[in-house]
Structure 1
Amino acid sequence: MVADAGSVVAAVPLPALLVSRDERIVSANEEALALLGRAIEGRHFITALRQPQIIEAVEAAFRDGKPARARYLSNDGRQDTSFLVFARPLTEGTIPGVLVCLEDETHRAHAEQMRRDFVANVSHELKTPLTALIGFIDTLRGPARTDPAAQERFLSIMESEAGRMNRLVSDLLSLSRVEAEERVRPTARVEMRGLVAGVVRAFETLAGDAGVTIETELPPEDIEIIGDTDQLRQVLWNLIENAVKYAGRDATVRVMLTGPGYEAKVRGHGVRLRIADTGPGIDPIHIPRLTERFYRIDTHRSREKGGTGLGLAIVKHIVNRHRGRLFVESTPGQGTEFTVVLPVG
């Protein structure tokens, strides 16, 4: 009968083990052995399931004859993991006991934490300009009611804060749309050479005002890929805008397009888009987190420049939708280069 119990436990698609009435583990499937240890069979269940909440759930299932549940926390060497544990009494067969199953909910817990962080970040980003607007409105109604110079100054700041909120809402809507479409491959044909040239032309005035020179290196012939024109334009816009804003006066921004040719990163033919600047560069500690939502290297400077902290997150999701790859290389004091590799078809 132990063999029969073992066959049943082995068939469970989750980590599972059977605890007999004498409180010993009589069978465990491969998933449970990998999670809890290879030598748990035959041992008292407390030595394998060491956490008090799980022990209490198993004991409750024995005592009350009813299902019980608990949470099991562990670590797989890379991250904390979380399992929902189900303890169900078995009354049929010659070996009555409790079947214990562990359902991995790490990804669900991680997604929930990301949602909470996102809501907290959005609330914080909106609260700051809203608080400023409310304060200036009170001032304009009170002490500055008859002071035209103060009114002009405060209205200018209010316009800036309202613009910041508008950019934040626009980026949030863009991010939401991009995330919703991320698993849907684009089907239109996009001429990349003309697209890059058009976006660069649109930046001539902004670059001139910032004292930045934009140079382009484009192939002589047109290059077509399968993609979404509006989204690829947004990728270009966000990357070039960041370079122009943060490279600093007298810097140079180079926009380069090469291909098509074989690209190992996309396992096929692709094009390579590179935006490089001669600015101050980025400390390597920041590079792995650059595409996180609301992550900023310098929060104060980013807000001064009108940044929302969402631009590179949008770029990442658009590149993912196109089954491309995004890379960042930077050396402090020597500039930064963003590279986007996109498959041709």
Structure 2
Amino acid sequence: MGDTPGSGLNGGRFLFATALLGAGVAISQFGSNGIEQAMICFAAGLVAIVAMADLSSPAKHNPQAAAPIREPEIKPISQHRDFTSFIDGLADPVLVLTGTNVRRANSAARKLLGEYCVGEDVRLVIRHPAAADLLVDTSAAAEGPIQLVGIGSRDQRWEMLVRDMPGGERILHLWDRSGVYAVERMRTDFVANASHELRTPLASIKGFIETLEDNEAGADPETRARFLNVMFREANRMQKLIDDLISLSRIEAEKFRVPDTPVDLPELMREVQTVLRHSQPDRGADIAVDIGPDLPPLRGDRTQLSQLLHNLVSNSMKYGQPGTPVTMRLRSSRNGALVRLSVSDCGEGIAPEHLPRLTERFYRVDSSRSRAIGGTGLGLSIVKHIVERHRGRLEIDSEVQKGTTITITLPADPRTPQIDGSGSNPDLSVPA
């Protein structure tokens, strides 16, 4: 007679599958910290299999074949034939330890710690004082995770968790927290930079007010007019910074809502050209617009695209040489799926080492010059976030003493983006 669903063989298979399912549920519910619950579920299933095998043996059903009952031996979990493939499926590094010896390592652990870490003392594999103390003191395994820095690369941060498992083994789990710490560092830097940018003009205004309160200095009309003019400029600078911060916050809040309003980009480019020619007549006369043929209808956020153009053209006007052209150029891809917008100037250019950081908040190549011409250090960061919301791509090319070109490639319809960064499809290429 074949095995029934409740017999030892099929029942064992059922419990093994249930153990794996329980492990998966634990990971999905508890995230990376679910490894402990996952292993407990898995181990419980294996213990049940051993018990079922014992109960379904002939000795249990044939009194004549009965033998003295012995406690079933629970083998270490790592000896199960499917255990290696199970932990290899985990994205985080996992080690199985016997004492301080590395008995098993999944593929993520071998990639991080070295292919030959199995068989080594774990204190040599993870060279960190806090880790060594925890791994030697087996009674400390139930403690919470500890923080490790420098494993893999100098900037990586990890949380290490160690738990006891059936059969006298321990399981070690590493969780990469580098991204979380990077976000926290960015937040801290942002608050510090924003505070500094606001404090500087505020201190200047406060100093001028104190000077004007002086009976002698405040009584001189020329001094008073000069100080009031500086105070007005500093107040405008603070207002511009606050406006940029609010704008950046608003764009980030909408980043996952794809814009889908029809936008006439050529008309918008001419509008920006007209506004800047009237507001800055000396430099505005240098703005040129070059619009190619057969442009597809574009969908996007008109207000944000207008801000993008204003930021790019204003930057080119500030940093380009007086009297040299600032050119806005618009082209379509051959299949009409993409548009490419570029803004070029003939200025001092930017050294290559600065290019990767230009879109960082408050980053300036020349801080003193940027402040002198009214820059907040947020313009290109705002541009980057607008481009990302439109599912586009931003490229910056610059040559020292020749000039800078900023190119933005946008899908004609952000709801069906065509940009993958490969540039291998000739139908998506954009003529110069």
Provide the secondary structure at the position in 2 that maps to 1:39: coil
- Preserved contact between residue 328 and residue 342 of structure 2 (Cα < 8 Å): yes
Q: CA deviation at 1:205?
A: 2.6
Given candidates 3, 7, 15, the residue that maps to 2:93 is 15
The 1:236/1:65 distance shift into structure 2, 3 A limit, reads closer
In structure 2, what is the Cα distance between the partners aligned to 1:129 and 1:184?
Answer: 36
Q: CA deviation at 1:228?
A: 0.5
In structure 2, what is the Cα distance between the partners aligned to 1:64 and 1:191?
Answer: 65
- Preserved contact between residue 253 and residue 276 of structure 1 (Cα < 8 Å): yes
Paired AA for residue 97 in structure 2 = V
Provide the secondary structure at the position in 1 that maps to 2:80: helix
Matched, 1:156 2:233: no
- Preserved contact between residue 346 and residue 402 of structure 2 (Cα < 8 Å): yes
Paired AA for residue 226 in structure 2 = R
Q: Which residue of 1 aligns with 2:15?
A: none
Matched, 1:270 2:338: yes
Provide the secondary structure at the position in 1 that maps to 2:341: strand
User: C-alpha root-mean-square deviation of aligned residues, in Å?
Assistant: 2.1
Q: CA deviation at 1:13?
A: 4.6
Q: CA deviation at 1:162?
A: 0.6
Unmatched tracts of structure 1, length 5 or more: 263-267
In structure 2, what is the Cα distance between the partners aligned to 1:97 and 1:149?
Answer: 84
Paired AA for residue 342 in structure 2 = R
- Preserved contact between residue 68 and residue 88 of structure 1 (Cα < 8 Å): no
Given candidates 76, 80, 90, the residue that maps to 1:4 is 80
- Preserved contact between residue 101 and residue 121 of structure 2 (Cα < 8 Å): yes
Given candidates 46, 63, 75, the residue that maps to 2:139 is 63
The 1:9/1:342 distance shift into structure 2, 3 A limit, reads closer
Q: Which residue of 2 aligns with 1:128?
A: 200
Q: CA deviation at 1:42?
A: 2.2
Q: CA deviation at 1:219?
A: 3.6
Provide the secondary structure at the position in 1 that maps to 2:150: strand
* Larger strand fraction of residues: 1
In structure 1, what is the Cα distance between the partners aligned to 2:89 and 2:293?
Answer: 61
Unmatched tracts of structure 2, length 5 or more: 1-74, 414-432
Provide the secondary structure at the position in 2 that maps to 1:18: strand
Moved more, 229-238 or 207-216: 207-216
Paired AA for residue 253 in structure 1 = V
Given candidates 172, 180, 184, the residue that maps to 1:100 is 172
In structure 1, what is the Cα distance between the partners aligned to 2:121 and 2:294?
Answer: 73
Matched, 1:177 2:250: yes
Matched, 1:281 2:383: no
The 1:227/1:75 distance shift into structure 2, 3 A limit, reads farther
Following superposition of structure 1 onto structure 2, how do residues 107-118 of structure 1 map, counting pairs within 5 Å? 107-118=179-190
Q: CA deviation at 1:145?
A: 2.9
Q: CA deviation at 1:12?
A: 4.9
In structure 2, what is the Cα distance between the partners aligned to 1:308 and 1:13?
Answer: 41
Given candidates 145, 162, 166, the residue that maps to 1:87 is 162
Q: CA deviation at 1:73?
A: 2.3
Paired AA for residue 3 in structure 1 = Q
Following superposition of structure 1 onto structure 2, how do residues 225-236 of structure 1 map, counting pairs within 5 Å? 225-236=298-309
Moved more, 213-222 or 278-287: 213-222
The 1:282/1:65 distance shift into structure 2, 3 A limit, reads closer
In structure 1, what is the Cα distance between the partners aligned to 2:102 and 2:297?
Answer: 62
The 1:244/1:11 distance shift into structure 2, 3 A limit, reads closer
Q: Give the count of matched residue pairs.
A: 334
Following superposition of structure 1 onto structure 2, how do residues 37-56 of structure 1 map, counting pairs within 5 Å? 37-56=114-133
Deviations 1:148-181 (A, max 9, x none): 2211111111111110000000000111111122
Q: Which residue of 2 aligns with 1:265?
A: none
In structure 2, what is the Cα distance between the partners aligned to 1:228 and 1:81?
Answer: 38
Deviations 1:41-86 (A, max 9, x none): 22222121221111112233x0345324322223656x62111111
Deviations 1:257-291 (A, max 9, x none): 112534xxxxx721111111122222222222111
Higher relative contact order (CA 8 A, sep 6+): 1
Matched, 1:245 2:308: no
Paired AA for residue 323 in structure 1 = R
The 1:153/1:85 distance shift into structure 2, 3 A limit, reads same
In structure 1, what is the Cα distance between the partners aligned to 2:102 and 2:221?
Answer: 82
In structure 1, what is the Cα distance between the partners aligned to 2:90 and 2:400?
Answer: 53
TM-score by length of 2: 0.73
Provide the secondary structure at the position in 1 that maps to 2:259: coil
Paired AA for residue 127 in structure 1 = R
In structure 2, what is the Cα distance between the partners aligned to 1:28 and 1:260?
Answer: 49
Paired AA for residue 71 in structure 1 = Q
In structure 1, what is the Cα distance between the partners aligned to 2:295 and 2:277?
Answer: 22
Provide the secondary structure at the position in 2 that maps to 1:80: coil
In structure 2, what is the Cα distance between the partners aligned to 1:230 and 1:137?
Answer: 38
Following superposition of structure 1 onto structure 2, how do residues 260-339 of structure 1 map, counting pairs within 5 Å? 260-262=333-335, 269-339=337-407
Q: CA deviation at 1:245?
A: 1.6
Q: CA deviation at 1:301?
A: 1.4
The 1:10/1:221 distance shift into structure 2, 3 A limit, reads closer
Provide the secondary structure at the position in 2 that maps to 1:173: helix
- Preserved contact between residue 339 and residue 410 of structure 2 (Cα < 8 Å): yes
Q: Which residue of 1 aligns with 2:148?
A: 72
Q: CA deviation at 1:296?
A: 1.0
Q: CA deviation at 1:29?
A: 1.7
Given candidates 185, 191, 210, the residue that maps to 2:283 is 210
TM-score by length of 1: 0.90
